[in-house]
Structure 1
């Protein structure tokens, strides 16, 4: 028997509204400002996503031999090329150009969190 269920994935960041707008553009839905330091994303199926202000936030390094990235989001897309174009237009930065024939590509959101676009 499970002890808990996954309620919300929360990303620490320097600007919750800006990061909420990025992910709203990427995933759909809209942001709800709940406090000066907290924004949640609504209208997106799946596990809720929220953004919390973190003073002194330092983005993870990817890849880094001397540090763990902690976690990343895998986002499923129908068309990698179209999704990449949209993500870059929203402010994502490519982290791994890699093999263009593989089924996933790695980016950083505007706060520096790594995420992958993965072909469905």
Structure 2
């Protein structure tokens, strides 16, 4: 992370880091979902998802316990926009993710503007409509 010259006390964005027992697998999930690639740390315990958006990283946490949303604390989640929810829903499932809320396949013109999923390590994320009229 770098800061502009003369602003040493300025805090800037670096990444969202997700703890998981299989950081390579979770990074691959997000890279494939987002059309990016994975860059591995030489030690093999940190992976960056390289794509057109903000940096997402995964790090090894051998004793990681997945969030238990909606029964327990969510901890944190990622939001992604998507115009074609049905195609994105199928892609999440094909890549090893799971639908959390709702779990049924998307129907035309849903009332709610987001759906909740989990990556293979159990981290929740949402697929959100980019505009109110999307997902017709």
Query: When the two structures are superposed, what TM-score results if normalisation uses the length of structure 2?
Result: 0.79
Q: Which aligned segments of 4 or more residues in structure 1 are displaced greater than 4 angstroms?
A: none
Other structure's SS at 2:57 match: strand
- For residues 60 and 82 of structure 2, the distance between their equivalents in structure 1, rounded to whole angstroms, comes to 28
Residues 63-109 of structure 1: CA distance to partner in whole angstroms, max 9, x if unpaired? 02xx4211111111111111101111111111111795122111110
Structure whose CA Rg is larger: 2
Unmatched segments (≥5 aa) in structure 2: 1-6, 131-136
- Unpaired runs of 5+ in structure 1? none
More strand per residue: 1
- Residue correspondences, number: 117
- TM-score under structure 1 length normalisation: 0.89
* Conserved 8 A contact 1:41-1:49: yes
Q: Which residue of 2 aligns with 1:73?
A: 78
Aligned partner of 1:7 in structure 2 is 14
> 2:134: which partner in 1?
none
* Counterpart mapping for 1:27-106 below 5 A: 27-34=34-41, 35-42=43-50, 44-64=51-71, 67-97=72-102, 101=110, 102-106=112-116
